[in-house]
């Protein structure tokens, strides 16, 4: 059967990571807003998000082609050149994250890591505190709680920009970025396919277990 050639860009672990992370972030925000008894679930969702984030850092080193940081992290000059190309309509679709998308990915990962890490030391002055709050002074815990509360707005801004960018590519550039994050495949771009076989998936499961183990160790101190 002929047709547009498909290229595997996002391996299954990266796709599962993405949708699970998005779901957990929504759960974390909702449970924190409702508060009360839901704070138990806020902490659990936060731990799971932290485990996923640690997994993604490992996957950025040991994952398949387009998931690797060395593949998509570019310097400022590449980002500026991409922005210029975008303005003049010359930014060709590419497999993997484009230089601007890469920036947004790094910003989201960093903001989420700050959010989950500060949460571990946070307190709500009523009944809930993070499992590591007991290891720092009250004023340090209060400070990290303030960071946790302020950083939520950084997160909302980044996620809003993220979703707006996907819509921009869809409507203005006629590039569908969403489908590849579901099926794994892009069409109409050149490049080597990402490895997405059973061995890679087992490797991902092992790395996720490592990340989850590290979080479990931290939160049971």
- Judged by CB under 6 A, the residue of 95, 105, 144, 211 near ligand HEM is 105
- Judged by CB under 6 A, the residue of 41, 85, 124, 218 near ligand HEM is 124
> What 3 state SS string does 37-53 have?
HHHHHHHHHHHHHHHHH
CB neighbour list of residue 71: distance below 8 Å, 6 or more residues apart = 65, 96
Closest approach, Cβ 2 to ligand HEM, in A, equals: 26
- What is the separation of C-alpha 100 from the centre of its chain, rounded to a whole number of angstroms? 15
Closest approach, Cβ 209 to ligand HEM, in A, equals: 18
Q: Is 17 in the site for ligand HEM (CB under 6 A)?
A: yes
Q: Cβ closer to ligand HEM: 80 or 127?
A: 127
- Judged by CB under 6 A, the residue of 8, 11, 13, 42 near ligand HEM is 42
Query: Do the Cβ atoms of 169 and 177 come closer than 8 Å?
Result: yes
Q: Is 128 in the site for ligand HEM (CB under 6 A)?
A: yes
Closest approach, Cβ 1 to ligand HEM, in A, equals: 26
H or E element, residue 154: helix 138-171
Question: Which of these, 102, 62, 96, lies nearest to 79 by C-alpha position?
Answer: 102
Q: Rounded to an integer, what distance in angstroms lies between the CA atom of residue 153 and that of residue 58?
A: 27
Q: How far apart, in Å, are the Cα atoms of 72 and each of 60, 151, 153, 155?
A: 10, 25, 26, 21
The tokens describing 20, both together, are: 């699970």
Q: Cβ closer to ligand HEM: 16 or 81?
A: 16
Residues 149-188 that bind ligand HEM (CB under 6 A): 149, 152, 159, 162-163, 166, 177-178, 181
Residue ranges binding ligand HEM (CB under 6 A): 14, 17-18, 21-22, 25-26, 28-29, 32, 42-43, 46-47, 49-50, 56, 67, 97, 101, 105, 108-109, 112, 115-116, 119-120, 122-125, 128-131, 145, 148-149, 152, 159, 162-163, 166, 177-178, 181
């Amino acid at each position: 059967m002929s047709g547009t050639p498909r290229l595997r860009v996002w391996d299954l672990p990266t796709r599962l990571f993405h949708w699970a992370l998005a779901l957990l972030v929504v759960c974390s925000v909702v449970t924190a807003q409702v508060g009360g008894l839901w704070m138990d679930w806020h902490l659990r969702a936060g731990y799971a998000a932290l485990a996923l984030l640690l997994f993604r850092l490992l996957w950025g080193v040991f994952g398949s082609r387009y998931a690797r940081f060395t593949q998509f992290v570019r310097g400022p000059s590449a980002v500026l050149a991409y922005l210029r190309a975008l303005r003049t309509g010359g930014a060709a679709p590419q497999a993997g994250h484009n230089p601007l998308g890469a920036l947004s990915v790094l910003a989201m990962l960093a903001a989420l890591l700050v959010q989950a890490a500060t949460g571990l030391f946070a307190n709500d002055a009523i009944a809930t505190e993070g499992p590591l709050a007991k290891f720092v002074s009250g004023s340090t815990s209060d400070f990290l709680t303030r960071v946790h509360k302020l950083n939520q707005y950084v997160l909302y801004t980044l996620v809003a920009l993220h979703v707006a960018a996907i819509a921009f590519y869809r409507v203005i550039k006629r590039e569908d970025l969403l489908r590849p994050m579901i099926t794994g495949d892009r069409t109409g771009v050149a490049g080597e396919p990402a490895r997405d076989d059973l061995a890679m998936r087992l490797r991902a499961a092992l790395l996720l277990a490592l990340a989850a183990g590290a979080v479990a160790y931290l939160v049971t101190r």
